[in-house]
Amino acid sequence: MEGEIKCLLVDLDGTVYLGDKLIDGALKLRDVAEKEGIQVFFMTNNSSRSVKFYSEKLTRLGWPVGTDSILSSQEATAFELSRRGTSSVYAVGTESLADELKRFGLEVHEDYDESAEYVVVGFDTTLTYEKLVIAGKHIQRGVPVIATHPDTVCPIGKREFIPDCGSIIACLKTAYEHMEVEVMGKPEAGMVRLVESRTPFRGKQIGVVGDRLYTDMKFGKKWGMRSVLVLSGETNREDITEDSRPDIVVDHVGVLADMLLDQKSRLGS
């Protein structure tokens, strides 16, 4: 590998914290990034919470950051829909997702309305059967579907998880087999466009740090960034295959902090 890492895109759940507890080494990474002048963004596929929620949570846990440092699949979705000139959508999601879509000038319908141009499906912790029925009505009349992210589960502990956006999409797909879905969050292009709107760094200057092979690591590899897998969340070492192997594998972000202190020798530049 060549070149130093100038920017980190750091996942949250399973990477920086689990529940309300910081993972070992998180504050060490904070200190090293500040010392070395490395730009840090927190990038999450969790579309059930606002960027304000994550900013406040990280600050409470000891890593003070503003909302501009949070890149969420909520914002990636709203950013892309706004870029396309979309006016109105039907959202299967939390109030937070609806608020983010509205912040970008979109009308978000709570009931069935034929003016909806897209069905947006997020990680909906307020999911009801009625929401699925309304989404289904739109799908049957040919309205395109956007998923905020593909994650099937959300970790709430080292070995405990709950259904996520991908599971809700699978439910709809079972009922409406013809349905096609466009994904906005990691590892897809919607999140790349959001990243590029915030930082001048590109390619291997960016390190994607996360605990999932099929979102975090795939995102880094797909878009030519440096992929750093942490084993503090969903993925175990035995899950890694030759095809999915990241550039760097560490037990937790504290180990990455040590590597960043000596990039020239440890990262091979």
What per-residue confidence (pLDDT) applies to 154? 85
User: How is residue 167 written in tokens?
Assistant: 């599971």
The CATH architecture one would assign to domain 7-45+187-266 is: 3-Layer(aba) Sandwich (3.40)
Other CB atoms within 10 A of residue 105 CB: 12
Query: What is the residue-averaged pLDDT of the chain?
Result: 93
Q: What is the CATH topology of the domain spanning 74-183?
A: Rossmann fold (3.40.50)
Q: What is the DSSP letter of 24?
A: T
Q: Which residue has the tokens 């000891």?
A: 62
Tens-level pLDDT at each residue, the chain (269 residues): 357 899 999 999 889 998 889 998 999 999 999 999 999 999 999 999 999 999 999 999 999 999 999 999 999 999 999 999 999 999 999 999 999 999 999 999 999 999 999 999 999 999 999 999 999 999 999 999 999 999 898 877 667 889 999 999 999 999 999 999 999 999 999 999 999 999 999 999 999 999 989 999 999 999 999 999 999 988 889 999 888 899 999 999 999 999 998 764 444 44
Q: Is the dihedral of CA 188, 189, 195, 200 positive or negative?
A: positive
pLDDT for residue 157: 66
Q: 185: number of CA atoms within 13 Å, CB side?
A: 27
What is the model's pLDDT at position 156? 74
What is the model's pLDDT at position 224? 96
pLDDT tens-place string over residues 123-168: 999 999 999 999 999 999 999 999 999 989 887 766 788 999 999 9
d(CA 98, CA 109): 9
Chain-centroid distance, C-alpha 57: 16
Domain locations in the chain as residue ranges: 7-45+187-266, 74-183
Tell me, yes or no, if the two domains 7-45+187-266 and 74-183 fold the same way: yes
